[in-house]
Structure 1
Amino acid sequence: MVGKAVPGVTLPIVNTEGDWYVVPLPSGDRAYVASWVVETENPLRYVVFVDTTNLRSGPGLDYDIVGKAAPGDTLPIAAVEGDWYLVSLADGNRAYVANWVVKTNLDEGDVPKVYIYHTHNRESWKNVARNAKGSSVDDPEINITLVGGHLGEMLNKAGIRSLVETTDFAERLRVQKLGFSQSYAESRKAISKAKKANPSLAYFFDIHRDADVPRKNTTVAIKGKNYARILFVIGTAHPNHAANQKLAEELNKRLNKKYPGLSRGVISKSAHQGNGEYNQSLSPGSLLLEIGGANNTLEESRLAAEAFADVFSAYYKSLKVK
């Protein structure tokens, strides 16, 4: 025995050996602790090296090689950046390794890839909303969160693990005495927290219901059923919006191919036309989806969510076979 840790002490895990964690000590030495006597903040994920593999100083082949890992080595994953894992080394330092040259201890479906949230979470429909004064069509219970939740269910059934944010942002604004214009700042806090806790997240869908648009413009009949149409909104007030635009256009194309007329297209908005950013600077996989409008129904919107889940699942899985 080389020492004791008191209750409440937190130490990073730099490696695993069977049922034991390797942890660094303040002295610079390492020690072992049994996995069954401690709790970890997140499920431990690690890479397993199959061949001798280069470790790099950054997430790309242009970065310097800072070391090598031997076949059979395992290193814990500290973060995910695109196609690269940031791993913790035994000496306490960190390095990057490409995800296509290693295996992980978790299957792809075991880590969340999609985060669904609702910046304007109380958006509802005229036929059910308890608050339908002026331009507001809101309800604290029957609202757009039921659509996002259904989307999450469909993606999870398709094998794409998804997280659905349940925070009542409208209530947070009320408690803090903040205006409606601060909605995106509030949802941004939730996104950032989710990203930190789940570095595997790659897609972020903000689900909305469009305004009081004529029903004929937001509804389409497909095989005898009415669907709420989907509009993609891309904010251009950040330098990397082209990646968001590319994703939206690809899904728009796929939607209209399999569900003709379901998509209303892709529109861009600058800071002069709205928020302009919509938290999309946080990830190239961020999209804002307007599902139907105030004159649609919950059921029509749920059908649209099912169609989007169908198309996105096919898109996502197509990336895995390239």
Structure 2
Amino acid sequence: MCYLLRITLTILVVISLSSLSTMAAPPESAESTAGGELVSGYITVVDDKGVIVLQTGHEVHPGDEYISEDDVLYEITAVEGTLARCRAMEKISSHAPDNAIFVQAPSPDAPKPKIALYHSHTDESYIPNDGVPTERGNGSIMTVGDTFEKRLTELGYQVDHSKTLHDPHDANAYHRSRRTAMKLLQGQPVAIFDIHRDSAPLRTYSTTINGENVTKLLLVVGRQNQNRNTTLDFARNIKSATDAKYRGLIRGIFIARGNYNQDLSPRALLVEAGTEYNTREAAERSMALFADVVPSFLGPGGGNGGVAQASPAGTYTDTGGDNTGGGSDTPIDTAPGNDILGLALAVVVGAAAFLFLSTGSWQEAKRKLKHFFKYEFANFFGPRKKRKE
């Protein structure tokens, strides 16, 4: 019986240490040396007829999904090197959810909600302007973020734009930017955007809107976080609102294997602004157009005033307002503490039941336990050394 209790306690210790390890390293895209993005090159996704559906610098895995510009949902079925295959699943509704609010820019007297911006890959640049696709410590993607910030400010939003560097462009970039995102979320923004630059041929991102050359935008949703459904609804809401005003600006929504720190908030979204072959000016014009659409999907109060806050364990609390995009805003607890407590309780109850059955009475069970804690537990981590006389 003492051996049973010894084993039980050992199991609990191992479970606790494993859970602490999980807490120390939050789930992240475990695909490549660039945190879910190829360091160089891109992947081409084709359908069963060989037609190109998607080209992106993000790594692609079976089970990933893509909602195209014309709202067709595709599923990735196979990946062979830089070529991936997909199948069309269904044509989805292009209409915004019922709670999508189309409003004008907020008046000067209206409450000014906050929007947070940051860049997990602060080295990303545009070759026509910079001569190189990446420039460590000084990527021009941050200048594109400046343009987004400026236009949002003109529309009456408060903007918290972090230019904290997260170089190098490796698998740990998202772990480093996670600290930045959590700090930004302390300011209670209504939404938080991680602004990137994709890798793909020029033609996949170049387009013309209102007679000006701009880059298309790709929205990326990580499918390895508890907010996936709500975040996807948010992305679809954004695409619908943008299509209504600037059709073709959003090239699609990529639901990729990864986390992208979106477990911190249901309104955290990754936005790809063009490819390395686009000009920075084209990307800036796109982000300015995108800013013009923000009141359509957030409203002057950010979805009726809802604020998504981060919590230490990757949970969030919605402090009011309707849910953006029709998903559930029920707080989700991903902390392992509750699971550990439940498991520990189950083990203790099971051990007590076994002890009672094996001894035949509670009195005898108590005697066994007293003996265990007096002698066996004291020597759990090894026998005591004898004290020198």
Determine the structure 1 residue equivalent to 2:225: 238
2:309 alignment counterpart: none
Equivalence for 1:208: 196
Which AA in structure 2 matches 1:231?
Answer: L
3-state SS, counterpart of residue 108 of structure 1: coil
* Equivalence for 2:126: 125
In the TM superposition, structure 1's runs of 4+ consecutive aligned residues that sit over 6 Å from their partners are none
Instruction: Label 1:139 to 1:297 Cα distance change in 2 as closer, same or farther (>3 A).
Output: farther
Counterpart pick for 1:108 among 87, 111, 132: 111
Which of 283, 305, 319 pairs up with 2:265? 283
Q: Could you tell me how far apart the structure 2 residues matched to 1:107 and 1:223 are?
A: 30
| 1:148 is aligned to 2:145 | yes
- 1:296 and 1:139 map into 2 onto residues whose CA distance is 19
Residue equivalent to 1:163: 160
Q: Distance in 2 between matches of 1:118 and 1:125?
A: 15
Query: What is the TM-score with the length of structure 2 in the denominator?
Result: 0.48
Aligned AA (1:180): D
What's 1:254 paired with? 241
Q: 1:128 aligns to what SS in structure 2?
A: helix
Deviation, structure 1 residue 150: 1.2
Matches within 5 A, 1:177-216: 180-196=170-186, 198=187, 200-211=188-199, 213-216=200-203
Question: Alpha carbon RMSD of aligned pairs, Å?
Answer: 2.1
Helix, strand or coil: the match of 1:159? Answer: coil
Once residues 290 and 305 of structure 1 are traced to their aligned partners in structure 2, the CA distance between those partners, rounded to angstroms, is 10
Which structure has the highest strand share of the two? Answer: 1
Q: Which amino acid aligns with 2:244?
A: K
The answer to whether structure 1 residue 269 and structure 2 residue 256 are counterparts is yes
| Cα distance in structure 2, aligned partners of 1:221 and 1:107 | 34
Displacement of 1:238: 1.1
State percent identity of aligned pairs.
29
Higher Cα Rg, which structure: 2
Q: 8 Å contact 2:241–2:296 — kept in the other structure?
A: no
Residue segments in structure 1 that go unaligned for 5+ positions in a row = 1-105, 174-178, 271-275
State the AA in 2 paired with 1:124. Answer: S
| 2:278 equivalent among 296, 301, 321 | 296
Aligned residues: 196
Q: TM-score, normalised by structure 1?
A: 0.57
Give the superposition deviation at 1:107: 6.3
Question: What's the offset of the Cα at 1:258?
Answer: 1.1
> Contact 1:128–1:142 at 8 Å: present in 2 too?
no
Is the 8 Å Cα contact of residues 208 and 290 (structure 1) preserved in structure 2? yes
**Contact 1:202/1:283 (8 A) holds in 2:** no
Greater share of residues in helix: 2
CA distance in 1, matches of 2:232, 2:134: 29
Amino acid at match of 2:123: R
CA separation in 2, counterparts of 1:223 and 1:193? Answer: 37
Displacement of 1:307 after TM fit? Answer: 0.9
**In the alignment, which of 227, 233, 244 is matched to residue 214 of structure 2?**
227
Q: Relative contact order, CA 8 A, sep 6+: which one is greater?
A: 2
Q: Check 1:126–1:137 CA distance in 2 against 1; reply closer, same or farther (3 A cut).
A: same
Structure 2: any 5+ residue segments left out of the alignment? 1-108, 306-321, 323-389
The C-alpha deviation readout for 1:202-242, integer Å capped at 9, x for no partner, is: 2110000001x111110111121111100000000012211
Asked if the contact 1:160/1:313 (under 8 Å) is kept, the reply is: no
How far apart are residue 153 of structure 1 and its match? Answer: 1.3
Verify the 8 A CA contact 2:122 2:138 in the aligned structure 1. Answer: no
**Amino acid of the residue matched to residue 187 of structure 1?**
S
Aligned mates of 1:201, 1:121 — CA distance in 2: 21
Contact 1:235 1:280 in 2 (8 A): yes
In the alignment, is the contact (CA less than 8 A) between 1:218 and 1:229 conserved in 2?
yes
Letter in 1 for 2:146: G
